[in-house]
Structure 1
Amino acid sequence: MTFTTTTPRGARRAVLGVALVGALALGACSSGGGGSAAGDDAIELTLATSAIAGTPNAAAQDWFLDAVEEATDGSVTFDRTAPESICTAAEIVECLRDGRADVGVTIPDYTPQYFPTVSVVGIPFVGQNSAAITASLYDLHTQDEQAVALMERNGLHYVSAWPVGRLLLGTDAPVESIADLQGISARASGPVVQQVLSDAGMSITAVTASESYEAVERGVIDGVGGAIDFAVNYRIMELLPYWTDPGIGQYSTFGMWFSADAWERLSAEQQEAVTAVEEEFNEGAAVEAFNDQAATQCDAMLEATTVDDLTAWSEDATEEWIDQVGDSAREAWTTVAADFGLEDPDSLLDAYEASLDEHAELEYVDATSSCVEAFATR
């Protein structure tokens, strides 16, 4: 299975858009007309997001919003508020639950009590293929009884969760092995990743992405664990010269949801059109949009005079860490997931890993790994 199909991108959305327009036109005719160009079902939904402009996560978000507006012929539109202007990154899910926003985009790990089914991505060294992870999480949240029930309890309609990129460590001195992690104070998100880094000797502080620059600048922390956009879009490469990929892989996600109330306000035809966009998004479009934007981040790092190097650990160094972690990360996730309300975390983990195997053939070129190669040959 690959990203490429014989159907041109957007064709399915176009067909659904035509069908939706027809349904709305018939409704207008039966009521004597007089509706707006988008039909009497036209609705504007308020977006609350923490994805800042220019990041790969914003590119993925905007692809979905644009595709929904196209597929519904404008009967569903979005008030695209500025990042964190309505709610901070850690509050966005609460904004959906209390009605301040209709659609939310943020990092689920900031409110892990609502998303133990998504935090499975945080088990280190398990997930490397971002496309397979995105598709597998969609499978879980549309097919697995526990995951579906959890979203219903949260008052959310699941759209997607896509990995934020491979975990990089940004520091003020080179880090090449577990031994070099001792005593470094850093931020990281995700309960399991935080535990793994702590067990390796790091002191972890729960700081959000947008707070990280100030935390490093003021000396609250002296390093970061995060994706490549921490270096570029959050400008931390101005402060930390050394960046390395220790081999943990994909470790966290950005998520997108409708509030249950907003979803129910959509007509049946609109829901059908949005669901088709969701499927396309999770089958590859999200990661493709993400990677297209992520490729530009490498150029920024290569050109930055403040960045001394971007490297990857040797296979032996990563294997040493894998051996040290053993099964403890899986056990930590099952404990956390149970604490946050999953009745049978083991069965959900089995379903996730089975889905990863099913989607393992999805084509995927990692922009961060490509950037490491570019630094090696510059």
Structure 2
Amino acid sequence: MFTISKRRRVATAAGAIGALALLAGCSEGVVQGEDGGGEDVAAEETLTLVTAAMDGTPNAAVQDWFLTEVEERSEGRIEFERTEAYSLCDAPEIADCVRDGRAEIGVSIPDYTPVYFPSTSVVSVPFVGQNWQGITHSLHELHRNNADAEAVMTDNNLHFVGTWPVGRMLIGTHEPLESPEDLDGLSTRVSGPLAINLFEGEGTNVVSLAANEVYEGLERGVVDSAAASIDFPVNYRLNELLPYWTDPGVGEYSSFGMWMNLDTYEEMSEDLQQVIDEVAADLAAGAGAEAFYAQATEQCPSMLEAETLEGFTRWDEDITAAWEEETGDSLQSAWVDLATEQGLENAESVLDEYMAGLEELSDPEAQDATLTCIEEFSNQ
């Protein structure tokens, strides 16, 4: 297995810093002293990031909060080499890049390589997840305290850092959608295994495309619609091609994951491991939700000001409730079967623990920027 060499020397005297940096090949950070002066310190760990989170999206904001917080709390002993989205590894390759050591930390969509992440695909069970913070917190606790969920990560040489939802599902189309019956016959890009099942049950021709491929797919007629978060009409510019967007009430449907190479994590000193894990816990407990929401609110003006936008609506709650009742518990059972096939032991108990976490750990006061933006559109 290819591994990245570690650089573990710390300069303890200002006059020796330059020589140590040259000898160890380390990059240098600055630690502030009590008098406000700076002391240069060579990073013990320089970790390369590979990511599918595009700049300007809420998912990138969560990622960047974590990276910056780790650098600050470690006082420069951990430093991240940030790379642009899709630059070193394409989105479907990122998990493998981290697993085999080409990069030390990665951020991408677990659904692109689902066999590695059966425990996190539970996010895609429709109608279950409506609270971003609760989902993130429950998944974090699950992968810290459930041996079966943790095992699927460690067996793939990954250390779980965090998993968070991508944002509420919207459906972008050329004509308005009023109910699930309108999905029949559409060719739609959908992500998330159980969300795909839901759409296929309504007669939709589902096409799997990575986020950065959807615009071209619409231009070329590979698909005629897209089910995705608000990132897609705003940051991926699908507003230019699809004038109608609606929230069908499915809620969160897919996720971003952040993982470290397990060998890299285990070779760190215990105090640096503690920094990584404490920041990850704070992300899950609410800091990530704050970063996500702050960036998500900045997407709304771009959405509403798009000259091509003709509709931005939400289905009536009775329509969504009838759709949910129609599916019953079938999609949860389908997730248990799928996760079991992908190697997750005791998948039913993992689902029960996740659902209990949603009830216990969700913040009832948490705001949803997408719903707020839909309300703004309706009040124009």
- TM-score when scaled to structure 2? 0.89
Structure 1 partner of 2:351: 349
Alpha-carbon distance in structure 1 between the residues aligned to 2:235 and 2:268:
35
- 1:320-339 aligned within 5 A: 320-339=322-341
Amino acid in structure 2 at the alignment position of 1:95: C
Name the SS for the 2:80 alignment partner. strand
Residue 42 (structure 1) aligned to one of 37, 41, 44: 44
Q: Which has the higher contact order (CA 8 A, sep 6+)?
A: 1
Amino acid in structure 1 at the alignment position of 2:267: R
The runs of at least 4 consecutive aligned structure 1 residues that moved more than 2 Å come to 32-41, 360-363
- 1:163-182 aligned within 5 A: 163-182=165-184
- 1:126-137 aligned within 5 A: 126-137=128-139
Amino acid in structure 2 at the alignment position of 1:133: I
Structure 1 partner of 2:31: none
Name the SS for the 2:119 alignment partner. coil
Determine if contact 1:131/1:363 at 8 Å carries over to the other structure. Answer: no
Structure 1 partner of 2:316: 314
For the structure 1 residues 35 and 269, does the alpha-carbon distance in structure 2 shift closer, same or farther, using more than 3 Å as the test? farther
Determine if the alignment matches structure 1 residue 158 to structure 2 residue 160: yes
Alpha-carbon distance in structure 2 between the residues aligned to 1:68 and 1:78:
9
- 1:1-378 aligned within 5 A: 28=12, 42-378=44-380
Determine if contact 1:131/1:362 at 8 Å carries over to the other structure. Answer: no
Moved more, 59-68 or 262-271: 262-271
Alpha-carbon distance in structure 1 between the residues aligned to 2:233 and 2:43:
43
Aligned length, in residue pairs: 352
Alpha-carbon distance in structure 2 between the residues aligned to 1:171 and 1:309:
10
Q: How far 1:53 sits from its partner (Å)?
A: 0.6
Determine if contact 1:56/1:294 at 8 Å carries over to the other structure. Answer: yes
Q: How far 1:39 sits from its partner (Å)?
A: 5.2
Q: Which runs of 5+ in 1 are unaligned?
A: 1-23
Task: String of CA shifts for 1:284-328, please: whole Å, max 9, x gaps.
Answer: 111110110111111101100111011000012112211221121
* Structure number with higher helix proportion: 1
Determine if contact 2:43/2:79 at 8 Å carries over to the other structure. Answer: no
Amino acid in structure 1 at the alignment position of 2:334: A
Q: Which runs of 5+ in 2 are unaligned?
A: 1-8, 22-38
Task: String of CA shifts for 1:243-294, please: whole Å, max 9, x gaps.
Answer: 0000000111111011102212321111111211111111111111011011
Identity %: 48
Alpha-carbon distance in structure 2 between the residues aligned to 1:187 and 1:298:
22
Moved more, 211-220 or 264-273: 264-273
Name the SS for the 1:175 alignment partner. coil
Q: How far 1:40 sits from its partner (Å)?
A: 6.6
Name the SS for the 1:254 alignment partner. strand
